[in-house]
Amino acid sequence: MKVILKDNVIYAFSPGMKPVAHVHAGETVQFETLDALGGQIQNEEDVMNLDFSKVNPATGPIYVEGARKGQTLVVEILDINISSDRGVIVAEEGFGVLRDVVKGFRAKILPIRDGCVIFDGLSIPIKPMIGVIGVAPEREEFPTGTAHKHGGNMDTKEITVKSRIHLPVFQDGALLALGDVHAVMGDGEVCVSACEVPATVTAKIEVEDRTIDWPIVETEEHVCVIVSLPELKDALEEATRVAVKMLSEARKISFEEAYMLASLIVDVGVSQLVDPNLTAKAKIPKRYLA
C-alpha cells in the first residue's frame, strides 16, 4: 500500500499538476493530511499570525494509471483516523453565514476525548469526514478552498468512511488529492470552519468507464449529487436537475414523471454556505435507482 506523506501538498487544483506518486486502479492508498489551517494554530493566539497562503492543503496529487479523460474516478473511503487529541475551529469577521457576529479573527481549541469533540463542556460525538477531495480540472485552476465539477472543497459530511466518491476525470491520470478532514461538521459549516484536524485517510482507488457531469457521493443508502456554484439557487437547481435525470434514466420514465417522483423521494439540501462556490446536494435513496 502506498503512503502519501503530508509534506506532499497542493493549494490549487490545476490541469497541469505534477503527480507525487503513481498508483493502479484497484490499489489502496493512505493519505497523511494536515488540518485545514496547515497546523499553524497550536494555541488560540496563533490565529493572529495565520498565513492564508497555507490554508486548505490537500495531500497529493496521485496519478491513477488507466484513468482517462471522460471516465469516472471512484474513491472508496476505507478509514479516517484522526491523528491528534484536539482540533481547532476558527471564525472571522465578514465571513460565514452571519458575517457581523465575530469581531476580528478568533480561534478555539477543541479537545477530542473518548470519541467526542469537547466544546465548553459539551460532548459531541465525532463523525470524521473529508472536506477537500478532487482531481485536476479541465481548464481553469481552482484554489483548494473552492469546489466545482472537479470536486475540491465540497465540505459534504456524507464524504466519510464507507462512502464512495465518484469524480469526473478531466485529465489523464485524474490527479487525485485530498485533505481538510473534520472531526465533526454540521450541514452549512456556518461559521466558515468545522473541527479541523490532521488525519490519515485510507482509500481504495478505482476507475469506471462512464461519464458524469458533477461529483456523486454514494453511501450505503443514498446516491448524493454534489453541485458547487457561486449562487446557491443555481447550485440547488442544478443538483435537482441532475437527480431528476438520474431517476428518469434509471426508471425509464419521462423527465416530467421523474420530476414529480423526485418531489416525493429526493432530499435537496446544503453542504456548505461559506466558500467561494456554495455547495448543494440532492440525495436519492438507492432503492429507487435499482
Q: 76-120: per-residue pLDDT in tens?
A: 999 999 999 999 999 999 999 999 999 999 999 999 999 999 999
| pLDDT score, position 242 | 98
- In the chain the domains, ranked by start, together with CATH numbers, are 2-212 (2.60.120.580), 222-288 (3.10.28.20)
Q: Measured between alpha carbons, how far is residue 4 from residues 32, 161, 226 in Å?
A: 6, 19, 26
Q: Is the pLDDT of residue 143 over 90?
A: yes
Give the integer Cα–Cα distance in Å for 12 and 37. Answer: 15
Q: Is the pLDDT of residue 49 over 90?
A: no
| pLDDT score, position 130 | 98
52 pLDDT tier (thresholds 50, 70, 90): confident
- Residue 57's nearest CA partner among 13, 112, 2 is 13
- Residue 36's nearest CA partner among 58, 8, 20 is 58
Q: Is the pLDDT of residue 187 over 90?
A: yes
Average pLDDT, the chain: 97
140 pLDDT tier (thresholds 50, 70, 90): very high
The arrangement of strands across the sheet holding 164-168 comes to 2-4, 28-33, 199-208, 72-82, 164-168, 216-218, 222-229, 278-285, 267-272
Rg (CA), the chain: 18
What is the mean predicted confidence (pLDDT) over 72-79? Answer: 98
Q: What's the start-to-end Cα distance of the chain, in Å? A: 33
Q: Is the pLDDT of residue 160 over 90?
A: yes
Give the integer Cα–Cα distance in Å for 224 and 83. Answer: 28
Amino acid at 233: K
What is the mean predicted confidence (pLDDT) over 266-282? Answer: 98
Which pTM does this prediction carry?
Answer: 0.97
- 249 Cβ contact partners less than 8 Å away, ≥ 6 residues apart: none
| pLDDT score, position 11 | 98
Q: Is the pLDDT of residue 47 over 90?
A: no
Which residue is it, cell 485545514? 36
156 pLDDT tier (thresholds 50, 70, 90): very high
| pLDDT score, position 290 | 84
Q: What proportion of the chain, given as a percentage, has pLDDT over 70?
A: 100
What is the mean predicted confidence (pLDDT) over 272-286? Answer: 98
Q: Are 137 and 15 in contact (CB under 8 A)?
A: yes
Q: Are 55 and 36 in contact (CB under 8 A)?
A: yes
Cell of 17: 499538476
Between helix 255-265 and helix 232-251 the angle, nearest 10°, is 110
| pLDDT score, position 48 | 82
Helix (H) or strand (E) holding 240: helix 232-251
Q: Which residues pair with 202 in a beta bridge?
A: 30, 79
Q: Are 175 and 145 in contact (CB under 8 A)?
A: no
Which residue is it, cell 466558515? 192
